[in-house]
Structure 1
């Protein structure tokens, strides 16, 4: 799995790129809003549960992530929206081709590279769910919420049943270096602990060289537990315990 990346890179981008990014995000926000409205109308039909799971959610290894709703992130609403390749690929591939992201995710190149990575999760057994992070109705980050105890990483640390892992990248350059990563990591890890009662820990394994990412996890209440030698990287094992979540 790729590293968690809450990059604080502040390198400038061209005005043309900024305009394209704004158009993409505006269009995605409109599509997501339309999709939510359709699901809401479907959920009001007689005999339909208000927690109906959309068809892309996959098997329920992550306690119905698609129905978790907004994260407890203060005054600005934030929500994880499961990725749909037909709707989201252009934006995600654009983010993956940012050099600051590509250095840690290794998914730069044609859209099909990102598509294959997404498809492997969406069409898999449900142990990993790729999501857009939508802040104030605008997609601004990419997340992977995954069952760490069912992932190959479990061979590299003392995994517990239902350990849940996080990968994150902040998409737009303008959203980096503003403290979003720390606040969103705390909000999403709280969301996991609130909706996954069997999960006692949220873990992450950012590249040890990615100091902004490690710092963001520390600021979000994670503790550094160990260095792990993983295929392709040396990682910092970061852990947020349910038992101590209100103390850190």
Structure 2
């Protein structure tokens, strides 16, 4: 299971939430890897014969996650924020550098050469579309890494109750200078808002940061998530954080020590 919380903004590796990458991520040698969970036959039928390349008809998160690439920007107190699906050749080096930051590595477990990160990203980009790796751009500049995934199709569903179309998030804040000042809370709130606005069938946004990652748990709380349960996942004991469609974010207060991932 990957980690989704290399810090208050941490994440988990591809077998997200189930693996979390929320730490959203593992190196994933774990048999619980997200991409190993078989899709229902109706989804297999849906994708059979579709092209694997980029484009609206490709086997990307566009289908299972309602066109993440087209969600568009949203305004935040820090500026205009947007999720942009990762482009392997252009973005792997930056994401690999972030993964090798000790604060992030403690939860994502993707340290090592660039090839380690590339393998993690490729598994999602060439997978069935249930997990979409994205860069979070603030005023056009990359400041965070996200994995948006279908929690109901993820190994997470083996460990706790999920609802159809529940959407999970794994994240990390890339630079140390951006942590500890409340940016994590701001971006989590923005992404939860995007998910609920762009995915009408989704009623909840989930995250499962490592319980030890108290800054991450605090950031999710401040962004309107509630602690639903403590869950034993492969490789970690997680705080299952849930944001319901009707929930309101906690009014801004003193900055939370935004977690690295």
Please state which band the TM-score falls in when normalised by the shorter chain. 0.7 to 0.9
For 2:68, the equivalent position in structure 1 comes to 65
- Answer whether contact 1:6 1:216 (CA < 8 A) is retained: no
For 1:241, the equivalent position in structure 2 comes to 244
For 1:2, the equivalent position in structure 2 comes to 2
Cα distance in structure 2, aligned partners of 1:89 and 1:192:
24
Q: Which shows bigger deviation, 153-162 or 72-81?
A: 72-81
Question: Larger Rg: 1 or 2?
Answer: 1
- Answer whether contact 1:82 1:130 (CA < 8 A) is retained: yes
- Answer whether contact 1:72 1:190 (CA < 8 A) is retained: no
Tell me, yes or no, if structure 1 residue 182 matches structure 2 residue 185.
yes
Cα deviation for residue 74 of structure 1 reads 4.0
CA 1:58/1:236 → structure 2, altered by over 3 Å: closer, same or farther?
closer
* TM-score (structure 1 length as normaliser): 0.79
For 1:76, the equivalent position in structure 2 comes to 79
SS of 2:98's equivalent in the other structure is helix
Tell me, yes or no, if structure 1 residue 222 matches structure 2 residue 225.
yes
Equivalent of residue 131 in structure 1, options 128, 131, 134: 134
- Answer whether contact 1:57 1:82 (CA < 8 A) is retained: no
SS of 2:84's equivalent in the other structure is strand
For 1:113, the equivalent position in structure 2 comes to 116
Question: 1:63-83 deviations in whole A, cap 9, x for unaligned?
Answer: 001000002424610000100
Cα distance in structure 1, aligned partners of 2:61 and 2:159:
27
Q: Which shows bigger deviation, 74-83 or 232-241?
A: 74-83
Tell me, yes or no, if structure 1 residue 166 matches structure 2 residue 151.
no
SS of 1:60's equivalent in the other structure is helix
For 1:195, the equivalent position in structure 2 comes to 198
SS of 1:243's equivalent in the other structure is coil
Cα deviation for residue 54 of structure 1 reads 8.9
Tell me, yes or no, if structure 1 residue 97 matches structure 2 residue 100.
yes
For 1:122, the equivalent position in structure 2 comes to 125
- Answer whether contact 1:146 1:166 (CA < 8 A) is retained: yes
- Answer whether contact 1:72 1:191 (CA < 8 A) is retained: no
- Answer whether contact 1:53 1:67 (CA < 8 A) is retained: no
Equivalent residue runs for 1:38-49 within 5 Å: none
Equivalent residue runs for 1:19-34 within 5 Å: none
CA 1:182/1:54 → structure 2, altered by over 3 Å: closer, same or farther?
farther
Higher relative helix content: 1
Cα deviation for residue 244 of structure 1 reads 2.3
Unaligned runs of 5+ in 2: 10-54, 252-261
Cα distance in structure 1, aligned partners of 2:248 and 2:56:
29
Q: RCO higher in 1 or 2 (8 Å CA, sep ≥ 6)?
A: 2
Size of the aligned set, in residue pairs, is 206
Cα distance in structure 1, aligned partners of 2:227 and 2:105:
24
CA 1:199/1:237 → structure 2, altered by over 3 Å: closer, same or farther?
same
Cα distance in structure 2, aligned partners of 1:227 and 1:72:
32
SS of 1:158's equivalent in the other structure is coil
Cα deviation for residue 137 of structure 1 reads 0.9
